[in-house]
Amino acid sequence: MEYLKNPGKGVITDVKGRLRCYKNDWLHAFHSGPGIIAPMAFMFFASAIPVIAFGEQLSKATDGALTPAETLMSTALCGVIHAIFGGQPLLILGVAEPTIIMYSYLYSFIQTRIGKELFLAWAGWVCTWTALFLLLIATFNLCAIIHRFTRLAGELFGMLIAVLFIQEAIKGIIEEFNVPEDEEGSTEEKYHFQWLYINGLLAVIFATGVLLTTLKSRNARSWVYGTGWFRSFIAEYGVPVAVIIWTALSFAIPSKIPSGIPRRLDASFPWKSNSHWDTIVGMGRVPGGYIFAAIIPALMVAGLYFFDHSIAARMAQQKDFNLKKPSAFHYDVFLLGIMTFICGILGLPPSNGVLPQSPMHTRSLAILKRQMVRRKMVQRAKDGIEEKVSHSEIYGRMHDVLIEMEASSPPKTVKQDLTNLRESVVKHDDKGNKKEEFDPEKCVDLHLPVLVNEQRLSNLGQSILVGVAACAMPVIRLIPTSVLWGYFAYMAIDSLPGNQFWERLLFLFVTKQRRYKIIEELHASYIESVPFKYIFMLTVFQIMYLMVCFGITWIPIAGILFPFPFFLLIFIRERLLPKVIPTQHLQDLDSPEYEEVYGHSYMPNDQHRKKGESEGDENEVEMSPEEILDLMTTHRGEFKHRSLSYHHPSRKHHQPQGLQASSSATQ
Amino acid sequence: MEYLKNPGKGVITDVKGRLRCYKNDWLHAFHSGPGIIAPMAFMFFASAIPVIAFGEQLSKATDGALTPAETLMSTALCGVIHAIFGGQPLLILGVAEPTIIMYSYLYSFIQTRIGKELFLAWAGWVCTWTALFLLLIATFNLCAIIHRFTRLAGELFGMLIAVLFIQEAIKGIIEEFNVPEDEEGSTEEKYHFQWLYINGLLAVIFATGVLLTTLKSRNARSWVYGTGWFRSFIAEYGVPVAVIIWTALSFAIPSKIPSGIPRRLDASFPWKSNSHWDTIVGMGRVPGGYIFAAIIPALMVAGLYFFDHSIAARMAQQKDFNLKKPSAFHYDVFLLGIMTFICGILGLPPSNGVLPQSPMHTRSLAILKRQMVRRKMVQRAKDGIEEKVSHSEIYGRMHDVLIEMEASSPPKTVKQDLTNLRESVVKHDDKGNKKEEFDPEKCVDLHLPVLVNEQRLSNLGQSILVGVAACAMPVIRLIPTSVLWGYFAYMAIDSLPGNQFWERLLFLFVTKQRRYKIIEELHASYIESVPFKYIFMLTVFQIMYLMVCFGITWIPIAGILFPFPFFLLIFIRERLLPKVIPTQHLQDLDSPEYEEVYGHSYMPNDQHRKKGESEGDENEVEMSPEEILDLMTTHRGEFKHRSLSYHHPSRKHHQPQGLQASSSATQ
């Protein structure tokens, strides 16, 4: 264990690296002007709505001991701390589903033992232990372990969360037909059968309505109809708009219906009572045995947090985003430990780095114009290849485009980019035999990528807004609970595309004669490179494993161990699977990069060039940079690498290099 | 008026033509064996479900004087008569929406004047006059007038029907929240506010459920997932399956809810009372003034019936179906007159030829294998063109494919087809300069089209099944009314794709920079040939005209004249529009043929050839003939003509030749 030799080395390196650009993190933010407000507002809604939904789930599971007010407060508090003191300010923090599940188990465990009044205090001990473990992980440089959680584990975990979301949606709707568990007043009018039934039917309608409207809005950016501004607005604010619309509709019911129908969120300002300030006092009253029993859930939570936080951080700073400032994996886990401790003693559920919000944040800060330049340059280069001019000439043409369009950028960056690009393009001339392999898209991607506005203000701003929302509980309490059940279903469905486990699962339902339909469209490269037999085997294994994991969540006390099978997956992936599936195929199926191949019928660049020819350049097609990014990333925010064809020579460069391939991105 | 010179000539020619193949109509049917059962069952559901829905609409509009039992009975009766005595046995008859609207006006007119007990009698008079007008139209060979109703009028009418369907769906759902108009017993438990509200909410859920499931099933054939058998089954029986599933779900409500919720269809066997047998007696009691007043609605109904019946017949025997037996437009209108009279004196709403069922019927009888042959031949021919072999050689290759795959067909037809094909292919060799224009797809389409099993049994069988359904009212009464409201919404939405008015209307919402998205996909040819200005003008004119037509349906008595604006359209189309829009553009926008152009990104034959190369021939892709037909026709059953590109030389052949182009198809 080489890591252990230099305790604290990783954290110190990270801190040094980030300190060097700390001042710039703020300066850059204030220089970017009012443009920073849009990503701030966007991220606020993307953070706050799931946190409210999780809060409601937690409130149901803990009989109201923790409510949306607490989850919002934790998200705001940790967000502010991280924005100011965090290593990677692009990382978004929030209370996430695994936390909710863990807290539900903690509550049901402790409630029957030392009573519900000591729940927050005991959870405080769990947080304290968790904090300790996280600090140890960071200090002893164990962050590299994250690379041993491959796509297999990540996607399986993602699917489990999706299944739990769907379960939550269904459970939530069914419960709308019954008197809530913690209420006794079944003599009240609103708890008579017919009113409960009306409440339930309204819940079905609202939840379905929210699900359909949010799903519809998801791809608004690629709609054919409507102006670009309108489509962007729907794509970015579809979820909050849907929540607002359906909440408004819920007030359109006739006045003859007793108040309390439809059921709405139940949460008040968190510091209404002293319970939160008393947590630290209560911690002293927890019996010693239970303090040590808290180690077991703490181990699970620490594993989960480390896993979630690091993956979210990695996704927020993918290589393709071309970030200029250093990463801080070790230090961020260290800080996460401190924040977990603070939340624990305040009686709040802790926050950690969240997906898909973190890459979404980076994406919303990407500087847009460069994408447009990229498209134009690739096109110019391809024209050049067709005319069979030399690569120096090609470079010359690409250079002109850049100079022409980048007139407003700081000249220094442009110059550096050009130098890199030049070397990359011209070197193909030297080795005459490699000429065929020159792929302008790849060259430009490598040397002229997107630029991200790396700063701390957008994260700070959105966290403060979440804090404001936590204080605006009277407004949030207007939301019907059923709207949140629909939103849970949406989160589940929204997380599926781009999850290769899910895509392979669907692929099993395609008959052999029908597979050409998949190959014709954009498709993941493993479909062509791995024999169906192995795809089938791995997918069936994952389905069974998923069922086991899901089964564990149903076992009352053992449920607390639900993250354990995912830690076990490291062993299964490294030792057992290679014995059944040939290594090369396993690497293709579990590749760290998401690689896509164009179908026979889809050649986008080609088609745009034709278009250009017939209409002239001034009639440039309208395709916003966000739309291009939509095409290039999964819903989870993962970049997809595209090749023209599976057999295309240029594809070799994209060939996944096994498990270690993306390690460098996270060092 | 040349038509008037030879009264009865058209009818006699038709009768003679059909008599010659009458025996064969039956022989052919019985020879085709059990294979005829599938289209029979398919058409039964396609006929019966809308007729039940219209019956419920009529029942609401006439306070139960006419119910689904009567509409089913009329459909069955006219269907049997037409199957045995009709000219074109592929034409499907049924009670259609315009009939329902007309009968609703008749009822509301007569109810306040001579009382509702004489409603059927007066409607009998309307039918008698209508019958007379139809007989006159047929006798004086006026059927050619139908060609003056262009696409413009047909699609406007289709849109009006779609709007009325949506209105019916919304009205139906809203009324589920209220006590039905004809019921007084509002003291009954099921009419208390909370139960009515539950009934209404259930209606929203059932109607939405039916709409979503039927819409989803519509394109099942092109789904990627599932076996071919499963996809075909869902595509063909999606609507009945959805009705059955949602009806079954409606019985899953808790038993605490009073019976009568959800509201279900209200209809009993039509001859329960004597009212129908008494219609003819009642006709004698109608005051003379009203007998003559019946002429005005009769004129409208006759116009409508003539229009609907002829269009349905024309769609059922489009040129592309390659029917071998003669049409009988004059005689069928004649017979329609007789059937209208019979229905009138029996107190039933009359039936006429219906869309989209009629072309659906022809399609379901198309012999399938030939489509597969076609694809293979086109592919072989294209390979030949690429290898630049002579056209005789190409013909030789196509010939081999046919012989090989058609081994089981009667040799005579194959031989004739081959002769035609040979002439068509080889003639391109003579004119060397025209070589470029040789388009194998077009040649094969012209000389080797689908073959339809033209017989009378499937129509007779489905009509008898509808009659059986009319006697099975206890089963039909299980259907919740809300399921039908969902079905109305489905019918509306289902009728829109392929309606060029609708497609142009959507096109108005595409921003200029975004139009490339339309051009990239399959698109109607007018998008490239007509300047946007004229597309805009015509579409806005149609929208305003539609609003006027819709407005008329709301005027209490004048509503009876609602078909009038459509007759007026002939004049507007022929005299006024050409003054505003240049003739050529107007012809493109109002072309009798539906012409589509492949987008830049979509070259299906090309792509399949590539596929074939890489995988070898034994791995033939799975694409059922029905699926090919799905791609080739609109939902209304109209054939689309496809060109590779708007600028492609071969397109000239498909160029619409103005208003008269498709006249020959209907002679």
What's the gap in Å between the CA of A419 and the closest CA on chain B? Answer: 34
A160, amino acid identity: L
Average pLDDT over residues B405-418: 54
B641 membership: H or E segment, kind and range: strand B640-643
Lowest-pLDDT range of A31-40, A350-359, B470-479, B621-630: B621-630
Contact A513 B620 (CB under 8 A): yes
The C-alpha atoms of residue A222 and residue B519 are separated, in whole angstroms, by 15
Residue A659: predicted pLDDT: 32
Q: Which residues contact B559 (CB under 8 A, 6 or more apart)?
A: B105, B552, B553
Q: Is B631 on the interface with A (CB under 8 A)?
A: no
Neighbours of A98 (CB within 10 A): 22
Model confidence pLDDT, tens digit, residues A572-590 = 988 899 998 998 888 888 8
Residue A421: predicted pLDDT: 62
The C-alpha atoms of residue B346 and residue B74 are separated, in whole angstroms, by 9
- Render the burial of B448-457: b for 16+ CB within 10 Å, e for the rest: bbbbbbbbbb
Give the per-residue SS3 of A430-486: HCHHHHHHCCHHHHHHHHCCCEECCCCHHHHHHHHHHHHHHHCHHHHCCCEHHHHHH
Contacts B194 to A, Cβ<8 Å: 194-195, 198, 256
Q: Which residues contact A524 (CB under 8 A, 6 or more apart)?
A: A500, A503, A594, A595, A596, A597
**Which A residues in the span 514-553 are in contact with B, Cβ-Cβ below 8 Å?**
514, 516-520
Residue B543: predicted pLDDT: 95
Average pLDDT over residues B411-416: 56
**Which B residues in the span 485-504 are in contact with A, Cβ-Cβ below 8 Å?**
none
Average pLDDT over residues A450-469: 88
Tokens of A325: 């400032």
Lowest-pLDDT range of A71-75, B220-224, B566-570: B220-224
Contact A511 B201 (CB under 8 A): no
A194 → closest Cβ in B198, B202, B603: B198
The C-alpha atoms of residue B272 and residue B73 are separated, in whole angstroms, by 13
Contacts B617 to A, Cβ<8 Å: none
Q: Which residues contact B7 (CB under 8 A, 6 or more apart)?
A: B139, B140, B141
Model confidence pLDDT, tens digit, residues A153-179 = 888 888 998 999 999 999 999 999 988
What's the gap in Å between the CA of A212 and the closest CA on chain B? Answer: 11
Average pLDDT over residues A333-351: 94
Average pLDDT over residues B81-103: 92
B48 membership: H or E segment, kind and range: helix B37-61
Among residues B659, B633, B29, the alpha carbon closest in space to that of B315 is found at B633
Q: Which residue has the higher pLDDT, A651 or B553?
A: B553
* pLDDT-based confidence at residue B629 (cuts at 50, 70, 90): low
Q: What percent of chain B has pLDDT over 70?
A: 74
What's the gap in Å between the CA of B518 and the closest CA on chain A? Answer: 8
Average pLDDT over residues A605-627: 44
Model confidence pLDDT, tens digit, residues B509-540 = 888 777 777 777 777 778 888 888 999 999 99
Model confidence pLDDT, tens digit, residues B480-510 = 999 999 999 999 998 888 888 998 999 888 8
pLDDT > 90? residue B143: no
Contact A509 B226 (CB under 8 A): yes
Contact A506 B600 (CB under 8 A): no
Neighbours of B649 (CB within 10 A): 14
* pLDDT-based confidence at residue B450 (cuts at 50, 70, 90): low
Model confidence pLDDT, tens digit, residues A255-292 = 888 888 889 987 666 555 556 778 888 888 888 899 99
Residue A258: predicted pLDDT: 87
Q: Is the dihedral of CA B574, B577, B578, B583 positive or negative?
A: negative
**Which B residues in the span 383-422 are in contact with A, Cβ-Cβ below 8 Å?**
none
Residue A663: predicted pLDDT: 32
Work out the mean pLDDT of chain A and round it to a whole number: 80
* pLDDT-based confidence at residue A111 (cuts at 50, 70, 90): confident
Inter-chain CB pairs, A–B, below 8 Å: 91
pLDDT > 50? residue A348: yes
Q: Are B549 and B159 in contact (CB under 8 A)?
A: no
Contact B197 A257 (CB under 8 A): yes
Contact A517 B193 (CB under 8 A): no
* pLDDT-based confidence at residue B654 (cuts at 50, 70, 90): very low
pLDDT > 80? residue A637: no
pLDDT > 50? residue B344: yes
Residue A631: predicted pLDDT: 65
Closest residue in chain A to residue B605, using alpha carbons only = A601
Lowest-pLDDT range of A393-407, B10-24, B424-438, B593-607: B424-438
Contact A607 B520 (CB under 8 A): yes
DSSP state at residue A186: T
Residue B208: predicted pLDDT: 96
Contact B198 A193 (CB under 8 A): no
Average pLDDT over residues B222-238: 84
Q: What percent of chain A has pLDDT over 70?
A: 74
The C-alpha atoms of residue A485 and residue A490 are separated, in whole angstroms, by 9
pLDDT > 90? residue B275: no
What's the gap in Å between the CA of A602 and the closest CA on chain B? Answer: 6
Contact A516 B610 (CB under 8 A): no
Closest residue in chain A to residue B208, using alpha carbons only = A205
pLDDT > 60? residue B220: yes
Classify burial at A256, counting beta carbons within 10 Å of its beta carbon; exposed 0-12, middle 13-18, buried 19 or more: exposed
Q: Is the dihedral of CA B51, B57, B62, B68 positive or negative?
A: positive
Average pLDDT over residues B328-340: 93
For residue A605, the number of C-alpha atoms closer than 13 Å in the C-beta half-sphere is 17
Give the per-residue SS3 of B312-378: HHHHHCCHHHCCCCCCCHHHHHHHHHHHHHHHHHHCCCCCEECCCHHHHHHHHCEECHHHHHHHHHH
The C-alpha atoms of residue A297 and residue B642 are separated, in whole angstroms, by 65
What's the gap in Å between the CA of A194 and the closest CA on chain B? Answer: 7
DSSP state at residue B572: I
Work out the mean pLDDT of chain B and round it to a whole number: 79
Model confidence pLDDT, tens digit, residues B8-26 = 888 889 999 999 888 888 8
Average pLDDT over residues B79-108: 92
DSSP H helical ranges for A250-356: 279-285, 288-293, 295-316, 329-346
Q: Whole-prediction pTM value?
A: 0.81
Lowest-pLDDT range of A587-601, B125-139, B156-170, B523-537: A587-601
Q: Are B571 and B619 in contact (CB under 8 A)?
A: no
Residue A426: predicted pLDDT: 60
Contact A511 B602 (CB under 8 A): no
Residue A294: predicted pLDDT: 92
Q: What percent of chain B has pLDDT over 90?
A: 31
Q: What percent of chain A has pLDDT over 90?
A: 31
Q: Are B153 and B573 in contact (CB under 8 A)?
A: yes
* pLDDT-based confidence at residue B268 (cuts at 50, 70, 90): low
**Which B residues in the span 181-210 are in contact with A, Cβ-Cβ below 8 Å?**
193-195, 197-198, 201-202, 204-205, 208
Model confidence pLDDT, tens digit, residues A411-430 = 555 566 666 666 666 655 54
Name beta bridge partners: A352. Answer: A94
The C-alpha atoms of residue A504 and residue A452 are separated, in whole angstroms, by 33
The C-alpha atoms of residue B581 and residue B587 are separated, in whole angstroms, by 10
- Predicted ipTM of the assembly: 0.79
pLDDT > 90? residue A339: yes
Cα-flanking dihedrals φ and ψ of residue B127, to 5°? Answer: -65, -40
Contact B516 A611 (CB under 8 A): yes
DSSP H helical ranges for A347-409: 357-364, 369-386, 391-405
Neighbours of A19 (CB within 10 A): 9
Name beta bridge partners: B523. Answer: B597
B65, amino acid identity: A
Contact A224 B517 (CB under 8 A): yes
Neighbours of B517 (CB within 10 A): 19
pLDDT > 50? residue A617: no
Residue A623: predicted pLDDT: 55
Contacts A227 to B, Cβ<8 Å: 511
